Each structure stands twice: as structure tokens, then as C-alpha cells.
């Protein structure tokens, strides 16, 4: 049988931006719209074309963009109670904008009529019908969002359903039932959507679902609605949105398509899911959630030795689907729980071939180091260096003679930091001094100034994150400190670790590992004989 086609409606650019800390420029929203189009989203809600200058700029930019699949949607409300639809300025702007589809939000809960809009029930129905009729007459396809529908249905089901009927009779192609407060549970969602589907069966209108996540059920509620008859699903990337967020399309799409057999996006475009989710996070300057289903870094990460042995034998033993299907990849985490299979698999991925004794020594060394405070799950660069040292395939960038950091504060409050390093590269001795905005920055600059001429690829490696953690807080300023540094060469990111009672020494250790890993054979442009 042909799978049921689900119409995907993304509201990241509008509803998603109502979350705390969410802000994108008009140009950034255009970039994200193109990513949504490439993923296979059908409808992209751009927002209110008349609400503010940024939205006006966005619609101006989008009018000149070409999309291969998606259509842009303008969002607005039903007419004001004291104006006709043709006289309402916001509806006129929607009618005149380039967007072929318009979504109108209206009331379906009598509590809101009494407390918010202050109109009687019959006038509210007229506002819905006349607004939709006006936009349809202007050549627009119209989607009607029934705000607070589930609360309204629980309060007065006949009136809530009547609000949908007048929308359908006025020409709406889709009526969307919204769990705006986000407090409804899946069983109620399913039962209500079945009732709606039955009540609207005589019309050609499609049924849609729009859920918020205040009870932690937005994804489950959206899936329950589809199983009950909805064919139009609204949500945001990564669940962005006001309060606890909206239904997360990144989780809904693979569940509907890969688990339940619905058709959402072409198979080849499903593989863009992880990149799209991470692109949105990076654009918003958020760290991607490592535990997000399907696309998180840990979604297919394996730490226990038994788990690793299982996926090495047959991935189905500990993975519910092939991570490549959604554009993700398997991660094997190294820790004191790791077995030989984990070590051998990570060595193989680094192009190394360890014998039985070498693998066992690596495992024993990891257990010893983790007992001392090291943690290699987030320090893949440092772990590969450990593998290379054990295999004999390791060459240090330099030999350290000494380093020194001086930190001083002047009477005017200015803090000055200066680092001096003395190192050997082959038979050549280098001495370099540099200032920085802190000890690690000064050491980094001094080291690079000493050896960049020998290793020019170092200039492409940047430190992108620096994290410090106190391991035994009861010792106060004498506690052991763990430093994690993330570095990047522009195409990939790796982690390095250092542990010491001296935070500067721990930072130096992590700094050196981050640079040495980036310079190992096989890394891009390393200048040391790699591919």
C-alpha cells in the first residue's frame, strides 16, 4: 500500500523564536529556510509580515528566494472585532504579500472569548469565517489554527467543533487543532482527534496537529494525533519554542516515517536530519543537545564493553536503526568500562593495528588514568594519541625544556599575562615569549610563535572551547583540576584533556594534546606525510 503522506509544517522561524534566548536576523532566517527546504519540509511559516521591521525585511528577502519544494507561509490572526476583513490592516498585508499560503489563528475556547477577545461566541465564528473567506478570495490557500482547541473541546465540544466547521466552509484547506497550553496527554489527544476526524469527514478539509511540550508529551501527542487521523503536523526544529517548547519535528519525522511507515520526506533527504538540527543550533549559538533522539552525539554512542562487542557483531543488538539513515554516526566511548572491542574499533578508525598485548595495555592504562581523574569520552584527540604512543606510531611535535607564566596586576586594575616557553624541534632550540588575555592564551600564542614556521598547519587549528572542572572540591584551592579543550581545523572538532593539581599545568597538557592530535598523520594538511 502507498504510505500515507504527512504534510510537514515548520514554525521555527515564528513560534520557535518565542523561546528564551532565541534570536535570528532576517538573513539568518533565510539561510535556515533553505535548510528546511533541503530537508523536505512542505510549509515554512515565516511569521507575521506586518508585525515589525525585521519581519518585513524577512518577507522582502524571501520574496526573491527560490525553494525547490517548500512553500512560505504568512501567519496572522482573524479580523479585529470592530472591522470587516477587507478593512483589517493585518489581513490586507497578508493578502498583498507574496506567500501563497496563509495561516490564521482563531479562538475555539469560550474562556478566551470571555477573558481575552471579549466577543460573543457568534461574533467569534463570524470573525473566523469572514477572515478566511477574504484571504481565499484574494487567491490564498488558508490553514486555520484553532488555538487552545483541546481545552475548548473539553469545555464545550459542540462549540469547538463548530469553529472548525465554519473554517472549512469558508474555504480553509486544513484545520489544525492546537494544544496551546501543552498540558493534554496522548490518550486525550488521540480520542479528540478521532472525534474531530469523524465530525469533519463530510468535508474535504485535512486535519492538522500543533502541540506544545509543557507536559513533556508534544512528540507523543503529535504521533498520537497522526495515528488518530491527522495528516498535517506542525512543530519546530529541536523543539524550540515558548516556555517548554514546541513539538520537535526532528524526533517526529523519523518516528513517523521509519517506525510507523508514513511518508514524510524522501529517503535520501532523511539523511540530512542530523546536519539540519545541528545547523539550527549553531546558527542560534546553542550547543547541540548530545542526548537528543536520532541526531544527538550520544544517540548511537556505546560505552560498555558488552554493548560495543554487540554492535561490532551486529549493530541491531544495541541500535534501534542504522544511524546513517538520519545522518548520524556510531560513537564508541572509551572509559574504564571499555573492553578490547572498543579499543580495537577506535584504533582501526585511526588507521592503527594493535596486537593483543597492546590492546590490553591500553585498557589498563585508561583505567589507571581515569582513576586519577582523566575522562576520555569527550577527549577523543587525547585518546588517539594514547593509542599511537602504545602502537609506536607517535612523534611529538617538540621536546619541552621549560615553560613559565607570569601574571600580574597593575595599580590601575589592568591584569597582564606573559608566557615564555623553551622547546626543541629536532636539533633546533626555540625560545618564545607572548602576551595573552590569560595564562592558556599566552601559552598557546607562545607555542605557536615558536613552531608555526616548522608546522604551518598549526595556523589552521583554533581552540573553540575551554572547560575546567574541580574533581575533589573538599580540598579547595589544592584540588585536582580537569581541563577539557575542544579544537577545530574548520572541518572537524576534537577534544583533549589535562589533569593536575595545578590548573595551568592541566591546561598546558590539554593544549599540547589538542595541537599534537591536529598534526598527526592523516589529518588534513598536516604536512607530516598524511593523506
> CB count, 10 Å around CB of 90?
19
Which DSSP letter does residue 171 get? T
Based on C-alpha coordinates, what's the Rg of the chain?
29
Q: Any bridge partners for residue 209, and if so which?
A: 177, 233
Q: Which helix (H) or strand (E) holds 110?
A: helix 110-112
Length of the chain: 531
Write out the chain's pLDDT in tens, 531 residues: 789 999 999 999 999 999 988 889 999 999 999 999 999 999 999 999 876 788 889 999 999 999 999 999 999 999 988 889 989 999 999 999 999 999 999 999 989 888 887 889 999 999 999 999 999 999 999 999 999 999 999 999 999 999 999 999 999 999 999 999 999 999 999 999 999 999 999 998 999 999 999 999 999 999 999 999 999 999 999 999 999 999 999 999 999 999 999 999 999 999 999 989 988 988 887 878 888 999 987 777 766 555 555 665 666 666 678 888 898 776 655 554 455 666 777 777 777 888 888 888 888 887 788 778 887 766 888 888 888 888 877 888 899 999 999 999 988 889 999 999 999 998 999 999 999 988 989 999 999 999 888 888 888 898 888 888 887 666 666 678 889 888 888 777 888 999 998 999 999 999 999 999 888 765 544 434 333
Q: Return the C-alpha cell found at 62.
A: 524571501
Report whether CATH 1.10.3470 matches the domain 398-454.
no
Torsion of CA 317, 319, 321, 326, to 10 degrees: -150
Question: How many angstroms separate the CA atoms of 469 and 480, rounded?
Answer: 9
User: What does the pLDDT read at residue 524?
Assistant: 45
CATH annotation of 7-265: 3.20.20.70
User: What does the pLDDT read at residue 56?
Assistant: 87
Give the 3-state secondary structure of residue 435: strand
Question: How many angstroms separate the CA atoms of 425 and 261, rounded?
Answer: 60
Alpha helices of 285-431 — where are they, by DSSP H?
305-313, 340-349, 356-371, 380-391
Q: Any bridge partners for residue 332, and if so which?
A: 302
**Fold classified for 301-391:** Recoverin; domain 1 (1.10.238)
User: What does the pLDDT read at residue 141?
Assistant: 98
User: How is the chain split into domains, by residue range?
Assistant: 7-265, 301-391, 398-454
Question: How many angstroms separate the CA atoms of 29 and 39, rounded?
Answer: 15
User: What does the pLDDT read at residue 327?
Assistant: 87
Q: Return the C-alpha cell found at 262.
A: 508514513
Q: Return the C-alpha cell found at 256.
A: 513517523
Backbone angles phi, psi at 296, to 5 degrees: -70, 155
User: What does the pLDDT read at residue 362?
Assistant: 83
Cβ within 8 Å of residue 411, ≥6 positions away = none
User: What does the pLDDT read at residue 308?
Assistant: 55
Q: Return the C-alpha cell found at 512.
A: 599540547
Q: Return the C-alpha cell found at 431.
A: 625560545
Cα 59 to Cα 51, 80, 144: the distances in Å are 11, 23, 21
Q: Return the C-alpha cell found at 511.
A: 593544549
Question: How many angstroms separate the CA atoms of 311 and 165, rounded?
Answer: 52
Q: Return the C-alpha cell found at 232.
A: 498535517
- Edge-to-edge, what's the strand order for the sheet holding 415-425? 399-409, 415-425, 428-436
Give the 3-state secondary structure of residue 293: coil
Question: How many angstroms separate the CA atoms of 471 and 500, rounded?
Answer: 10
Residue ranges of E strands in 351-461:
399-409, 415-425, 428-436
> CB count, 10 Å around CB of 23?
10
Place of cell 597582564: 416
> CB count, 10 Å around CB of 491?
9
Cβ within 8 Å of residue 459, ≥6 positions away = 448, 452
Best CA proximity match to 141, nearest among 120, 170, 109: 170
Are 389 and 354 contacting, i.e. CB atoms less than 8 angstroms apart?
A: no
Residue 365: HSE in the Cβ half-sphere, 13 Å Cα cutoff: 15
Best CA proximity match to 207, nearest among 224, 219, 220: 224
CA 484 from chain center: how many Å?
A: 22
Q: Return the C-alpha cell found at 258.
A: 521509519
Amino acid at each position: 500500500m502507498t504510505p500515507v503522506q504527512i504534510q510537514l509544517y515548520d514554525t521555527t522561524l515564528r513560534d520557535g523564536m518565542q523561546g528564551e534566548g532565541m534570536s535570528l536576523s532576517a538573513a539568518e532566517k533565510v539561510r535556515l529556510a533553505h535548510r528546511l527546504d533541503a530537508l523536505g519540509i512542505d510549509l515554512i511559516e515565516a511569521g507575521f509580515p506586518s508585525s515589525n521591521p525585521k519581519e518585513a525585511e524577512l518577507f522582502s528577502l524571501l520574496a526573491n528566494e527560490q525553494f525547490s519544494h517548500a512553500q512560505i507561509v504568512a501567519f496572522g490572526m482573524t479580523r479585529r472585532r470592530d472591522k470587516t476583513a477587507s478593512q483589517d490592516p493585518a489581513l490586507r498585508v497578508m493578502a498583498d504579500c507574496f506567500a501563497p499560503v496563509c495561516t490564521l489563528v482563531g479562538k475555539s475556547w469560550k474562556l478566551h472569548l470571555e477573558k481575552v477577545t471579549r466577543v460573543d461566541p457568534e461574533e467569534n465564528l463570524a470573525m473566523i469565517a469572514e477572515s478566511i473567506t477574504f484571504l481565499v478570495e484574494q487567491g490564498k490557500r488558508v490553514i486555520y489554527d484553532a488555538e487552545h482547541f483541546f481545552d475548548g473541546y473539553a469545555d464545550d465540544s459542540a462549540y469547538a467543533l463548530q469553529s472548525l466547521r465554519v473554517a472549512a466552509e469558508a474555504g480553509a484547506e486544513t484545520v489544525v487543532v492546537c494544544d496551546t497550553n501543552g498540558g493534554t496527554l496522548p490518550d486525550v489527544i488521540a480520542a479528540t482527534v478521532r472525534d474531530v476526524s469523524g465530525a469533519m469527514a463530510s468535508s474535504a478539509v485535512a486535519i492538522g496537529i500543533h502541540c506544545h511540550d509543557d507536559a513533556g508529551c508534544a512528540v507523543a501527542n503529535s504521533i498520537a494525533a497522526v495515528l488518530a487521523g491527522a495528516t498535517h503536523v506542525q512543530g519546530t526544529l529541536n523543539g524550540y519554542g515558548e516556555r517548554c517548547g514546541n513539538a520537535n519535528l526532528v524526533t517526529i519525522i523519523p518516528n513517523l516515517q521509519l517506525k510507523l511507515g508514513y511518508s514524510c520526506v524522501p529517503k535520501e533527504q532523511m539523511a540530512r536530519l542530523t546536519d539540519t538540527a545541528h545547523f539550527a543550533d549553531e546558527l542560534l549559538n546553542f550547543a547541540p543537545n548530545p542526548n537528543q533522539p536520532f541526531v544527538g552525539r550520544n544517540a548511537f554512542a556505546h560505552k560498555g564493553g558488552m554493548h560495543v562487542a554487540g554492535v561490532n557483531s551486529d549493530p541491531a543488538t544495541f541500535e534501534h536503526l542504522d544511524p546513517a539513515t538520519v545522518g548520524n554516526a556510531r560513537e564508541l566511548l572509551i572509559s574504564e568500562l571499555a573492553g578490547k572491542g572498543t579499543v580495537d574499533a577506535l584504533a582501526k578508525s585511526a588507521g592503527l593495528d594493535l596486537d593483543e598485548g597492546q590492546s590490553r595495555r591500553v585498557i589498563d592504562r585508561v583505567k589507571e588514568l581515569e582513576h586519577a581523574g582523566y575522562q576520555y569520552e569527550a577527549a577523543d584527540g587525547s585518546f588517539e594519541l594514547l593509542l599511537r604512543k602504545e602502537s609506536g606510531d607517535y612523534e611529538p611535535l617538540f621536546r619541552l625544556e621549560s615553560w613559565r607564566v607570569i601574571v600580574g596586576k597593575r595599580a590601575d586594575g589592568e591584569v597582564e599575562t606573559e608566557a615564555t616557553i623553551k622547546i626543541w624541534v629536532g636539533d633546533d632550540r626555540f625560545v618564545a615569549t607572548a602576551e595573552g588575555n590569560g595564562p592558556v592564551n599566552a601559552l598557546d600564542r607562545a607555542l605557536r610563535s615558536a613552531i608555526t614556521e616548522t608546522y604551518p598547519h598549526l595556523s589552521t587549528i583554533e581552540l573553540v572551547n575551554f572547560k575546567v572542572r574541580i574533581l575533589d572540591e573538599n580540598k579547595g584551592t589544592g584540588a585536582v583540576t580537569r581541563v577539557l579543550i575542544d579544537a577545530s581545523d574548520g572541518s572537524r572538532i576534537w577534544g583533549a584533556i589535562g589533569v593536575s593539581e595545578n590548573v595551568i599545568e592541566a591546561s598546558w597538557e590539554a593544549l599540547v594534546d589538542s595541537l599534537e592530535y591536529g598534526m598527526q598523520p592523516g589529518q588534513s594538511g598536516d604536512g607530516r606525510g598524511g593523506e
